[in-house]
Structure 1
Amino acid sequence: MTTALIIGAGQGLSTSLARALHARGHSLILAARDTSDLGGLASETGAALINCDARNRDDMVRLFDTVDTKGPLDVAIYNPSARVRGAVADLDTEAVENAILVTAYGAFLMAHYATKRMQPQGHGALLFTGASAGVKGFANSSAFAMGKFALRGLCQSLARELHPQNIHIGHFVIDGVIAKSTDSEPGNTVLHPDAIAQSYMHFLDQHPSSWAWEIELRPQTERF
């Protein structure tokens, strides 16, 4: 059984992704700084829970050491991001540093350690959750824009490097608000997490002759 890893697991999109990957037969590892609210999801999907701060190199090393005990790593997904709002002259510089580390540097660490596992086996997929802030910078959102632009640049570079090695890179531009609950149909003004997860699964099923590296997802009514 191949392993799927979700970093930054929580309620909402990560829950939908975990359920979708479980349905495909993957053994799951869910990593987050605090996994205390993931017990129900772990019981439902058979997932292992690992406390991990994605900004921390030592934590990520320990996480991937655990991955090695679970079987071949087929899919790794990076969800964390941190947003600091405000005018650039008023921002707390330490908070901005943290936001960039969470949004971009942690993504690099996942790519670094996951690629080391996927290259010898000759296949794998690295998927990253982006945002419209990685395509256009909004006023009073400089920290988030920096982090998400860096994430998008990382993914574009990875795709050019790793696609020829049969490692599929996916950057998902989430343009809109994600519904908080998976239990009801939110309509077409926000993104339903189950629908987003299905787009991730469709991405995994793309034929190598027609691989995308980026998809934009937005509600029908979202202006762009």
Structure 2
Amino acid sequence: MTSEVAVIAGAGSGLSASLAKLLTREGFRVVLAARDIVKLSPLIAETGAEAIAADVSDPASVDNLFSAVDKVGPLSLAVFNASSRVRGSIADLDPESVKKALLVGAFGGFLVGQQAACRMLARGSGSILFTGATGSVKGFASSAGFAMPKFGLRGLAQSMARELAPKNIHVAHFVIDGGIASADPGRTSTADSPDRWLSPDAIAEAYLAVHRQHRSAWTSELELRPWVENF
């Protein structure tokens, strides 16, 4: 068991919940960050995690979040799982909505990554993990509002990995290439398509495995997809 401290920015159901539960079972002290922490009440009750209301696109809010994390203990793992999806043809996209998506998905990743890096540099170790998507590597039609922040987040992760790896800080980007299973209608596996959706628990296991990798064989980017997904 461990007494490591982890923060999950952009926490909610699905992957974030699976990760919080796994880390708690493994002995981590977990801090969950979200705009609306009321929705996290069941997860908090189950895991004992601390929840902090935070807007990842706001520097002051992110600073307050990490000040709260400092009170829990030295940070060893930071997961950025926040995003804002905007769909529509390029002619019809609302500029303000696209701006928000960029601020949350790319600028937010920078703010969280910066705060985490500062603490891990002082400590001399740690992992910073960024959640990407198919849109991180492919810009589909009518998805510019999603591809732009995801491409930006991937570039951030690559740059940080090259800068921080020599300083014993592991930075990795995850391409979640497919839909994640949930309780929502149409998001559950069926007998005739058991592998249609990625299991959030399985993804969480991959995140923890990357965090625990030996430094001589660090992963900088990991693609996760069900075999039925086209790529």
TM-score, normalising length: structure 1: 0.97
Q: How far 1:37 moved relative to its partner?
A: 1.6
1:82 and 1:150 mapped to 2: Cα distance? 13
CA distance in structure 1 between the partners assigned to 2:212 and 2:177 by the alignment: 23
- Give the corresponding residue for 1:76: 78
Cα distance in 1 for residues equivalent to 2:96 and 2:17: 30
Q: Which residue of 2 aligns with 1:210?
A: 217
**1:185 and 1:192 in contact (8 A); partners too:** no
CA distance in 2, matches of 1:190, 1:40: 24
> 4+ runs of 1 displaced by more than 6 Å?
none
The answer to whether the 8 A contact 2:188-2:197 is kept is no
Preserved CA contact (<8 Å) 1:172 1:215: yes
Contact 2:182/2:188 (CA < 8 Å) preserved in 1?
no
Point out where structure 1 has 5 or more consecutive residues left out of the alignment: none
Q: Distance in 1 between matches of 2:59 and 2:130?
A: 18
- Partner amino acid, structure 2, of 1:100: L
Note the alpha carbon deviations across 1:175-208, whole angstroms, 9 max, x for none.
10101149x9732111010011111111112111
From 87, 90, 106, the equivalent of 2:89 is 87
Percent of counterpart pairs with the same letter? 51
Specify the alignment match of 1:13 in structure 2.
Answer: 15
Listed one character per residue, the Cα deviations across residues 3-59 of structure 1 (whole Å, up to 9, x for unaligned) are 100011101110000011111211010010001121121122111111101101111
Q: Distance in 2 between matches of 1:65 and 1:201?
A: 24
- Structure-2 separation of matches of 1:45 and 1:164: 34
Look up the match of 2:63: 61
**Code of the aligned partner of 1:33:** R
Instruction: Give the residue type in structure 2 aligned to 1:18.
Output: A
Alpha-carbon distance, 1:170 to partner: 1.2
Match of 2:129 in 1: 127
1:193 matched to 2:200: yes
Q: What is the number of residues matched between the two proteins? A: 223
What aligned pairs does 1:39-50 form with structure 2 within 5 A after superposition?
39-50=41-52
Match of 2:228? Answer: 221
Q: Name the counterpart of 2:24.
A: 22
Shift of 1:89: 1.2
Equivalent residue for 2:39, pick from 18, 32, 37: 37
